[in-house]
A and B are shown apart, each in its own frame.
Chain A
Amino acid sequence: MANLKEIRNRISSVKSTRQITSAMKMVSAAKLRKAQDKIVQLRPYADKLHGVLVEVNKSLQGCDVENIFCKRKSGDGKILVVVVTSNRGLCGAFNANVAREAKRIMTERYPDKHNKGKLVFMSIGKKGHDALKRMRCNIVEEHNDIFNNLSFENTSLIASELIKKYVSGEYDRIEILYNQFKNAAMQRLTTEVFLPVQEIEESVGKGIATDFIYEPGVETIIQEIIPKSLKTQFYKAILDSFVAEHGARMTAMHQATDNASDLIRDLTLQYNKARQASITNQLLEVVSGAEALKG
């Protein structure tokens, strides 16, 4: 039977751990709500932008406008994978999943590219950065500080840099690896192709194409709108990962709080048993001492 003081100390230390985890859970819940609002705010913009893109695409049918964002080049250039993780830990398997997927990309999807040193990574989030470094990946850029001030402007700076590098031919293909938010307890690991641009789904046939006047011209508009929609996509991916991070942390901390409560219950039981045992012992001693004196 462990001694009383020892158990008491353990109980108080587990209690303070529980306090920390439950506070972290609350903080994550608040941050989750805030971040979710941001996604909701982004949605009208993304939808409308997509609407405009579809309109432009509709009236583009038939004419051949060269699109520098769609061109598929010969596959000899570099592939860039943008790995989005969090800056802080304590969020369950959130970052480990991303790291595992990054490894899979490296060893299974593009082993040739990797061996030739043509598979490079960009890390957003410290945890991913550390994991990539451990795997000896070729990290060309890091933007770990973006989460300090997550805004459209900041992310679009990175996005336009990426677009520029794609157009200039430095990269052949850019993918984003991130956790997509499903609900507070679930994240879906997603690899999204950022560039080349995926074909816009055919929505022709529905309704007649409105006869728009294009200022200054269809081509210019395409060249303007596609980067915008890419920036939106990029922002959404990072925001999604940010929301997922808080969801994951909330769930992890909830678990931890529950576990701490269980532990405290067990320890308290043990403590009471030990206390009772020592009382019984003392009583026995007193009684037998008295017995001995009488005899």
Chain B
Amino acid sequence: MKLEIITPEKKIYSGIIRSVRVPGQKGSFQVLKDHAPVISTLDNGPVVVVDEAGVEFRFEISGGVVEVKADKVILLADSVITA
């Protein structure tokens, strides 16, 4: 599954991942392989990425939108603080 985290100022992350947890507006949810297509707005909160090798990353985002489609996750964040 591919993930891209993009802010208006730069591309924060791009790569193959196992899973990602995002702070949806109605609650945090995790996206795994073959997730159904989703478009969701995001709240402030942590994004937890587990990459192919099983290493965990965390990003703090402040608001944004996520689109999951055909095994591709596009996360448009307003701003990101890398933890």
Contacts and interface: CB of A to CB of B under 8 A. Distances in A.
Given A48-B74, A52-B76, A42 B9 contact: yes
Nearest to B74: A48
A134 to B, nearest CB: 35
B44 interface: no
B11 interface: yes
Contact of B39 (A52, A156, A231): A52
Given A41-B10, A45-B76, A152-B9, A215 B65 contact: no
A171 interface: no
A153 interface: yes
Given A45-B6, A215-B41, A225 B65 contact: yes
B39 A55 contact: yes
Nearest to B67: A52
Interface string A143-162: 00000000111001000000
Chain B interface main SS type: strand
A56 B29 CA distance: 21
Interface in B17-54: 24-26, 29, 36-41
Contacts of A49: 65, 76
Interface residues of B, number: 25
Interface in A189-236: 210-216, 220-221, 224-225, 228, 231-232, 235
A220 B36 contact: no
B6 A215 contact: no
Nearest to A214: B39
B79 A213 contact: no
Interface size classification for chain A? 20 to 34
A183 B46 CA distance: 40
A224 B4 CA distance: 20
A58 B41 CA distance: 18
Given A42-B9, A152-B8, A224 B79 contact: no
Contact of B41 (A211, A212, A220, A231): A220
B13 to A, nearest CB: 12
A123 to B, nearest CB: 23
Interface in B40-83: 40-41, 65, 67, 69-70, 74, 76, 78-79
Contacts of A156: 78
Given A210-B37, A221-B39, A45 B8 contact: yes
Interface in A32-52: 38, 41-42, 44-46, 48-49, 51-52
A235 B79 CA distance: 14
7 contacts: A41-B8, A44-B6, A152-B79, A156-B78, A215-B29, A221-B41, A224-B65
Interface of B: 4, 6-11, 24-26, 29, 36-41, 65, 67, 69-70, 74, 76, 78-79
